[in-house]
Structure 1
Amino acid sequence: MTDALINLLRDAFSDRPLRIGTRSSPMALYQANDVRDRIHKRVPGLDVELVPMTTSADRWPGSLAELGGKGNFTKEIDRSLTSAQIDIAVHCMKDVPGDVPLPQGTAFGAYLEREDVHDVVVTRDGTPLAELPEGAIIGTSSVRRHAQLHMYRPDLRTEPIRGNVNSRLAKLDEDTKYAALILARAGLGRIDALDRHYEVLPLEFHPADSGIVSMVPAVGAGVIGIQARTADDSVMRLLDELNHPATAAHILAERTMLHLLRGHCNSPIAGHASTTPDGQLSLYGMVFNGDGSQFVRAHLWGDPGDPATLGSRVAADLLHQGADQLITETRK
């Protein structure tokens, strides 16, 4: 970072702190503190303040579909950003809907380097997923996880379980009706819970009769995005310093696919972009019906310098195979 930008930021925030808007859950605060630490390393002495918020989605005890979808995790924070009550917003990209445009005058200026995207099965005693008894209840509110689990173990039941990761783990420990939870491994790490009994599910798709339960990640899994007002030049330049270019390319490919599929919060859609050892950009996408009994999948490679085109190609392939019909059925 140049001395000129450091001085510009210090001048811009000489009389007040740079304010970071975040959800108030322990995991969200961990992420926001990470962003604050990164800013302090680049601009020593800059006053940075966290502004925690409890969103309507955090308060809602029922299905997110009934509330209007994932956008309720972000809309209050977006409102604070556009009204200049905060200067940047920190989001889990998997919680940023693909069918709702960003507020006018805002943009994601940085994506932090992607963390582990594996899903895990968490149990009280380490029982493997394959050994859970028929009819066992798995706690998950994710339609993507429900559909994929049902592909391999249709004999298991899933029930929604809301709340932050800490509260869901507490429910697993306290309520014996749950045999297991499906959670993100990165989330366990952020709350120092990797000492729990968990089984890592592979990312790569396997046929239902393979005996291997796969879990293709959500679009944006493991990525923290940092949003700001585009008119705040010094802040946007700061975020550019924090940005991880490869992750930004992966997110653009995934979210282009998601946007063109026109999925909604109740659509079981999975997508994962990565860079291959020979430098190509890889994008894998899947769309399921509600119970995972039907699905379409596509895996294509493209130019790492043009991730949007790859996202468009994968979306077109999925739509050609009937993804739109599967998505329409989940709206009923």
Structure 2
Amino acid sequence: MNPLTEVVLDRFSETPLRIGTRTSTMAKIQSSHVAELITRLVPGIAIEIVPTQVSADLWPGDLAEIGGKGAFSKEIDRALTGARIDIAVHCMKDVPGDVPLAEGTAFGAYLPRDDVHDVVVTRGDVPFADLPPGSLIGTSSVRRHAQLSIHRPDLRTERIRGNVDTRLNHLDEKDSKYAALVLARTSLIRLGLLDRHHEVLPLEFHSAEEGIVSMVPPVGAGVIGLQARNSDTPVMRLLDELNHPLTASHILAERTMLHLLSGHCNSPIAGHASTTPDGQMGLFGMVFNPDGSAFVRSQAWGDHSDPAALGARVAADLLHQGARNLIAATRK
């Protein structure tokens, strides 16, 4: 028995390791994946998945009215700080950049990043380019709304809330008002729905004049983060074994940028870090106004040894170009 296995099994000799998650189908799939990874590292450990209903999954309106993206995690945070769970599973795109983590907790692991592309799913598999002017597109994301407005200003968008499977059911209803949805491709992957017709949107930003509909992803896209109490040394050691260092570096660059921009849940901010063929880390960031008619963008490259510096550099450039005014406009 290796030292880590011995320490963790001793820690959970009388109680199971409890993994906290939201109640959605997607969240349960992600948590089951985490449980499988832990079982491979620590064979024989007892694991319990603890679903928690969160405010954001029940709220039909603007997230800003219930505390922004923090509403996705506050109940799970309470369970973690109250020692009712041992690990919290989060989609990093839903972790706000302007709200501190629950006191005494930290992210101990980031799993390898999944696909970060957005996709368009249409009614009747109609090509996105053939959707007639005035067609209604369902999306709850201000980032997607702003970018769609750049490329297809002839389309309308409307907030559609709920889990991905719920949104797809709304699209498929006989009298649905929606012509299409914009979703994360990783959602289709995790739900086993890749066989459903969809069009993948490129990540690289294109201007309206280029005629290519693109969708720069949100900060944290495709990454699952695992949060635990700092004082729980055995669990933190376990998470360190699960951590993917390259993804962790990319996330640090992206979230440093997000934090310094002081964006909130209604701020159309996009950002994506990646590793270039020559081994450098690149970070691309954008800030839009609500309808995409004004935006700023910045890209920089740096060494993997200091991702925070790269995030700070891109944020400083965006702020120099006027990002603060664009973000302020979304608070009105």
| Residue equivalent to 1:41 | 40
Instruction: Calculate the TM-score normalised by the size of structure 2.
Output: 0.99
> How far does residue 131 in structure 1 lie from its aligned partner after superposition?
1.1
Counterpart CA distance in 1 for 2:321 and 2:313 is: 13
C-alpha contact (below 8 Å) 1:263/1:269 kept by paired residues:
yes
Inter-partner Cα distance in structure 1 for 2:60 and 2:123? 24
What corresponds to 1:110 in structure 2?
109
Greater Cα offset, 97-106 or 125-134 = 125-134
Where in structure 2 are there 5+ consecutive unaligned residues? none
Quick one: distance in 1 between partners of 2:39 and 2:123? 39
Within 5 Å, which residues of 2 pair with 1:105-184?
A: 105-174=104-173, 175-184=175-184
Question: Which residue in 2 is equivalent to 1:194?
Answer: 194
Residues in 2 aligned to 1:294 and 1:67: alpha-carbon distance in whole angstroms: 28
Percent identity between the two aligned chains: 71
For 1:285, what is the secondary structure of its paired residue? strand
Partners of 1:275 and 1:115 lie apart in 2 by 14
For residues 178-257 of structure 1, the aligned pairs below 5 Å read 178-257=178-257
- Three-state SS of the structure 1 residue aligned to 2:8 is helix
Matching residue's letter, 1:249: S
Asked whether the equivalents of residues 125 and 197 of structure 1 are also in contact (C-alpha less than 8 Å), the reply is no
User: Given the two structures, how large is their TM-score scaled by the length of structure 1?
Assistant: 0.99
Write the deviation string for residues 205-250 of structure 1: whole angstroms up to 9, x where unpaired: 1111111001000000000000000111110000000000000000
Q: How far apart, CA to CA, are the structure 2 residues paired with 1:128 and 1:292?
A: 23
In the aligned structure 2, how far is the partner of 1:207 from the partner of 1:172? 29
Instruction: Encode CA deviations 1:107-132: one digit per residue, 9 max, x unaligned.
Output: 00000000000000001222222111
Give the structure 1 partner of residue 314 of structure 2. Answer: 314
SS where residue 138 of structure 1 aligns? strand
Instruction: Deviation per CA, 1:251-278: give whole Å up to 9, x if none.
Output: 0000000000000000000000000111
- Match of 1:87, as an amino acid? D
Distance across 2 between alignment mates of 1:302 and 1:275: 10
Alpha-carbon distance between aligned partners in 2 of 1:43 and 1:219, rounded to the nearest angstrom: 32
Local SS of the residue matching 1:22: strand
After superposition, what is the alpha-carbon deviation per residue over 1:191-213, rounded to whole angstroms, capped at 9, x for unaligned?
11111111000000111111100
The residue number in structure 1 matching 2:269 is: 269
Looking at structure 2, the residues matched to 306 and 128 of structure 1 have their Cα atoms a distance apart, in angstroms, of 43
2:302 corresponds to 1:286: no
- TM-superposed deviation, 1:41: 0.3
Per-residue CA deviations over 1:266-301 (Å, capped at 9, x if unaligned) read 000000000011110000000000000000000100
Letter in 1 for 2:44: G
Q: What are structure 1's unaligned runs of at least 5 residues?
A: none
Q: Distance in 2 between matches of 1:209 and 1:67?
A: 38
